[in-house]
Structure formats: C-alpha cells, structure tokens
C-alpha cells in the first residue's frame, strides 16, 4: 500500500505540477500581450502628440534612425508655414523643396569664432590635408593669437523674421561684361565679391559697392575701411599669415609670395569656418572635385546669412568661354579639367537652387 500510495501520490503530484505550470505560462502570456497592447497604444497616442505638439521643433522634420529599414521623414505639422523673413521669398522658409530641406543645416556657423574654436576631429583632418604642411602647429594656440588681433565674433548670430536682407553674390565671369548689372548689384544690402574682382572701370557692369570680399592669402589685396575681409583658409599657415599681415609682417611667403602687410579694417576681418567648408563638400557638392570652388563657398555663405540671394557673374559667357570679366584668357576652359573643382556639377547645383526658388541667377551676356 505504501508503494502504491507513493506511486499514486507521485503520479498525482506530477499532474498537479503540470497544471500549475500551464496556469503560470498562460498568466504570463496574458500579461505580456496586455503590456504589449498598452505599450503600442501609449506610443501611438503619447509619442505622436509629443513629436507634433506645438512648440516642439515645429519648423523641423523629425528623422528616424538612418539604419532602420523603414527610415523616412515625417511630414511637417498641419500648421501655417512660418515665414523666416519679410522678403517675398526667403531662403530659410521650409517646405519649399525637400531636396533643399534635407541638405540645408541652418545651425552650422559660417564664421570661425572664439565660440566654435574647436574643430571636430574629422573636420580638422580633412581640412589640414587640403594643402598639407610639414611643420606642425597647435591650431588652438594659433587661433588664440589671431583672436587677439581680430574680434573673433560672428556678426550673423541673430535672425529677425521682420527683416529682408538682400545679398548679391558677384562672381568673376566674363558674362558680366556688357550686362549693365551695376546699379542692380549696388542696390543690395550685402555685395559679396571673390578674390581679385576689380570694380574701378567696370562699375556699369559689375557695380561699385562691396561689403564682403572673400580671399585666400595668395589672392589678398587691400580693402576700403567699410568692407569685411573674409579669409578662406586652406591651412594653418593661412591663419598665421593673417595674424602677421595685421601686425608684425614677418610672413612673406606661403607656397607663393603673399602681402607682407594688409590694409583692411581689423574689426571687420572674418575667418571662413572649416566645418562650414566641409559641410558644403559633404552635403552640396557631394565630394565632386577635391573641394568646392571659392564661388560655391561664397554662395552658401550667403544662403546661410541672407534672406534673399541673387547671383551674378557665374558660369560661362554666351560663347561658352570661362574667363574673368576684366581679362581675355586664351585658355578659358582649361580650369575645368584640373580636377580640383567640378565646374559642371557646381553649375547643376546652382541651376537647381534657382529652379526651387532659393536663389535668382542673372545670366549676363
């Protein structure tokens, strides 16, 4: 009997244990499914409202994790589009072009200042290889010395949606000759010119006003006191040169002879930010060419500090010649074959910016 009872007890105990396990598993399954249901419901109800709630980055698109297989951009909230300026069409207005909005980063600073003195490592190593140097320098120390000579602040840190800041980006193309754009160019708030760009004797076609002149050391020239000198640096030595040219004058040569002293308004000297340089290379020219042309750098500088951008003197003339408006070049198309810049790809970008209404291009003659 004891053995039978033990066997029966053992068998009955095994059945009772299996039932308890089944009940426990069933309970866990119910809890899991209930939690999953409420989790999905809560994420759908709360998460959506959180992203779309008024005041939560209303003017920006919400991007999902890029590696997610279903990555896409959520649509902008169904609210009236907020204007970013008082011009008829504003560069910064979202929702006009998906292509532009996906690539345009309004928060990146075009000017290198005391506030963004440190470069991300990827930017620094890309920048120092543009024109490699054998002598190492501490970029931080070089900039600290430079910012003792110039202010090192950005004049573009504010934005007023009630303003209409109109900018003319004036290239050096021969298509300016005979175009009679002078008065139109001079009518802008900012007039931005590049490298040599003479105006004396070319006022009728190219205008006479300049507010910003973009140059690198090897193309630098003296400027009037009311003009901002914007240095486009390709190497640390360029920063050492501008410090020297505005003080001791001890640097006379980079890879070519440079001006020992520079007569410009120190308070108006600005330094083009290498991080902004790389942003244009990555987002806009898409690594076509070794790096973007100075014309492209100036164009996107304007797209980030101005409300309306009008472009003059870019591209070939009506005969297909690529030359400067102040000279006749026998080899007017040769620079397109150097591999440094991709002129054709850059021309496509300019054409597309015009097509989506972010710039207006004046074709010249």
**Whole-angstrom Cα distance, residue 231 to residue 216?**
6
Whether the Cβ atoms of residue 235 and residue 133 lie closer than 8 Å to each other:
yes
Q: How many CA atoms does the CB half-sphere of 219 hold within 13 Å?
A: 17
Active site (catalytic) residues: 291, 341
**Whole-angstrom Cα distance, residue 30 to residue 28?**
5
Cβ burial, residue 32 (10 Å; 0-12/13-18/19+): exposed
6: helix, coil or strand?
helix
**Whole-angstrom Cα distance, residue 226 to residue 158?**
21
Please give the C-alpha separations between residue 145 and each of 106, 139, 153, 196, 264, in angstroms, as whole numbers. 29, 10, 14, 27, 18
Give me the residues paired with residue 190 across strands. 167
Structure tokens at 49: 């409202």
Q: Which residues of 224-234 are buried (b: 16+ CB within 10 A; e: fewer)?
A: eeebbbbbbbb
Which residue reads 């300026």 in tokens? 85
């Amino acid at each position: 009997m004891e053995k039978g009872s033990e066997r029966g007890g053992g068998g009955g105990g095994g059945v009772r244990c299996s039932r308890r396990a089944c009940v426990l598993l069933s309970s866990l399954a119910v809890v899991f499914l209930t939690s999953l249901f409420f989790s999905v419901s809560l994420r759908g109800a709360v998460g959506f409202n959180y992203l779309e709630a008024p005041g939560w980055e209303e003017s920006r698109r919400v991007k999902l994790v890029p590696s997610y297989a279903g990555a896409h951009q959520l649509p902008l909230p169904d609210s009236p589009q907020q204007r970013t300026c008082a011009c008829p069409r504003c560069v910064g207005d979202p929702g006009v072009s998906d292509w532009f909005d996906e690539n345009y980063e309004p928060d990146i600073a075009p000017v290198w200042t005391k506030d963004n003195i440190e470069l991300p490592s990827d930017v620094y190593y890309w920048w120092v290889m543009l024109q490699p140097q054998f002598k190492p320098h501490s970029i931080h120390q070089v900039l600290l010395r430079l910012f003792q000579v110039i202010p090192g602040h950005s004049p573009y840190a504010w934005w007023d949606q009630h303003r209409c800041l109109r900018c003319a980006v004036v290239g050096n193309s021969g298509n300016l000759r005979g175009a009679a754009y002078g008065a139109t160019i001079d009518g802008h708030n900012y007039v931005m010119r590049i490298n040599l760009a003479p105006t004396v004797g070319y006022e009728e076609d190219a205008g006479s006003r300049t507010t910003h002149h973009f140059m690198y050391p090897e193309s630098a020239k003296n400027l009037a006191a009311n003009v901002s000198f914007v240095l486009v640096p390709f190497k640390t030595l360029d920063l050492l040169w501008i410090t020297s040219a505005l003080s001791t004058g001890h640097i006379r040569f980079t890879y070519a002879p440079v001006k020992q002293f520079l007569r410009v308004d120190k308070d108006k000297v600005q330094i083009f930010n290498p991080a902004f340089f790389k942003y244009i290379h990555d987002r806009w020219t898409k690594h076509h060419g070794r790096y973007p042309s100075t014309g492209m750098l100036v164009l996107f500088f304007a797209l980030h500090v101005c409300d309306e951008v009008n472009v003059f003197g870019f591209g070939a003339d009506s005969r297909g010649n690529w030359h400067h408006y102040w000279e006749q070049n026998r080899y007017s198309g040769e620079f397109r074959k150097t591999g440094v810049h991709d002129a054709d790809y850059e021309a496509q970008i300019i054409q597309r910016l015009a097509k989506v209404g972010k710039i207006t291009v004046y074709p010249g003659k």
